[in-house]
Structure 1
């Protein structure tokens, strides 16, 4: 069975051959390779990596979350050694579940996967429409005429990719960081006497 790396290499080579068949200048073909093909390949790889991490972490959390209650419910009172193994196993597995959930929540692998996948498919769609002079490019007689519009579409997609990544993925991480810091400050800084009196007054009322 072919590996994912060999499939990616084969797909990239096929797209490179497609570029060579288009009636474009060398500079335009270079743009296709550097700004379209390389981005399709890079973002496709990032999408696969994010998807794999998302599946690993989520499955670990789900399966571990199912097993932990089962271990807790086992009757181990007759065997102290077995009870000790079960107890430590439960603690260890619970820690793994918590870590897996925290890591996925922090890095947002699910969001990253969907983000990169959407951008990759958008780039591919533009590439295939351009190569066939269909869709947005159906009104052009040649690839030379359609190239300027194609280049503009690609740059718009890449710019939106950056904007969406900054506003969604990075913003979520910063928001979580701020919320964590606020919770930490609440635990570190004791409630002021004024706040205590206000709380007591509210309770008495």
Structure 2
């Protein structure tokens, strides 16, 4: 069904071929992470057929690698190896050193799991050389820059007035990127608190064991030892309280849900599927799309309002 929609859009010239390929790539990536292996493999096979028809060799290589990852997780190592090898060949033909290195590393991992260390080391060495070549010759663009660049190409290819395209970029695209930046920031803060809490807990356990058989005669060292335990205990308590106060886990889950809703609405709008399947042009579907975007952003705002309200009444 998805392939049929993509082909219809290409034939109707609603999207430029390059933009349609970018859109299809992001759709597959989003959905293959949600579906179970069987459904994901079906979707990835559709993507593989699409990329072969459009002669997008990098897209074909990426899809082959993702299929290999799914097969590997199902312990179908022989089929996974075949897909990884095909992906590596396409990457090599496209001079995509990083992709080839990732495929070779995956091949090495499978041989490692099959207790063939000689073959594993051979592929690991080849991958390491490619990684070095990639790092010396070019730098990988951050995710947000690639996301913005790809979807701006899609938006610019739509048959819409300038004001409508500005809305898509400033209200939908920038909102998604801003929320993803907030989620990444919260993840970093939560990770720092978790590290400090883990180190504090471990230190307290070690000091408690030492205090059992340790005979400290000096008052200075005894006070220093006690003060150290007290400081670490306070640090451990503070990290626990801060984590509970900011509620990073719940906020990350809620914000991520809002982001996925915005992305899904955008993908359906660009392809005129889902809520927009009855519309023939993007201009006709823009009004209902903007209503959906504003409704989702309103839900996002309510999350922060509820949080601050609970903190005020606490």
TM range (shorter): 0.7 to 0.9
Match of 2:226 in 1: 87
CA displacement 1:105-158 (0-9 Å, x = unmatched): 222222322222221111111111111111111221111111111111001101
Aligned equivalent of 2:246, options 79, 96, 107: 107
Please tell me whether the aligned partners of residues 77 and 83 of structure 1 are also in contact (alpha carbons under 8 angstroms).
no
Distance in 1 of aligned mates of 2:289 and 2:192? 38
- Scaled by the length of structure 1, the TM-score of the pair is 0.75
Match of 2:303 in 1: 164
**In terms of Rg, which structure is larger?**
1
Match of 2:285 in 1: 146
Gap runs ≥5 in structure 2: 1-134
Please tell me whether the aligned partners of residues 19 and 32 of structure 1 are also in contact (alpha carbons under 8 angstroms).
yes
Structure 1 position 175, deviation (Å): 3.4
Aligned equivalent of 2:259, options 120, 130, 143: 120
Please tell me whether the aligned partners of residues 76 and 82 of structure 1 are also in contact (alpha carbons under 8 angstroms).
no
Aligned equivalent of 1:155, options 260, 284, 294: 294
Alignment partner of 1:14 is 2:153: no
Query: Where in structure 2 are the equivalents of 1:187-198 lying within 5 Å?
Result: none
CA displacement 1:170-192 (0-9 Å, x = unmatched): 2332233xxxxxxxxxxxxxxxx
Distance in 2 of aligned mates of 1:101 and 1:175? 21
Match of 2:194 in 1: 58
CA displacement 1:67-123 (0-9 Å, x = unmatched): 312311213216858766643432222121112122222222223222222211111
Please tell me whether the aligned partners of residues 76 and 83 of structure 1 are also in contact (alpha carbons under 8 angstroms).
no
Distance in 2 of aligned mates of 1:132 and 1:79? 77
Distance 1:95 1:139, change over 3 A: same
Q: Secondary structure at the match of 1:77?
A: coil
Structure 1 position 15, deviation (Å): 1.3
Gap runs ≥5 in structure 1: 177-205
Alignment partner of 1:38 is 2:177: no
Q: What count of residue pairs does the alignment treat as equivalent?
A: 174
Report the RMSD for the aligned CA atoms in angstroms.
Answer: 2.3
Q: Secondary structure at the match of 1:73?
A: helix
Alignment partner of 1:71 is 2:207: yes
Match of 2:271 in 1: 132
Distance 1:172 1:55, change over 3 A: farther
- Scaled by the length of structure 2, the TM-score of the pair is 0.50
Distance in 1 of aligned mates of 2:309 and 2:304? 9
Distance in 1 of aligned mates of 2:279 and 2:143? 33
Distance in 2 of aligned mates of 1:119 and 1:60? 30
Q: Secondary structure at the match of 2:142?
A: helix
Aligned equivalent of 2:183, options 39, 43, 47: 47
Higher relative contact order (CA 8 A, sep 6+): 1
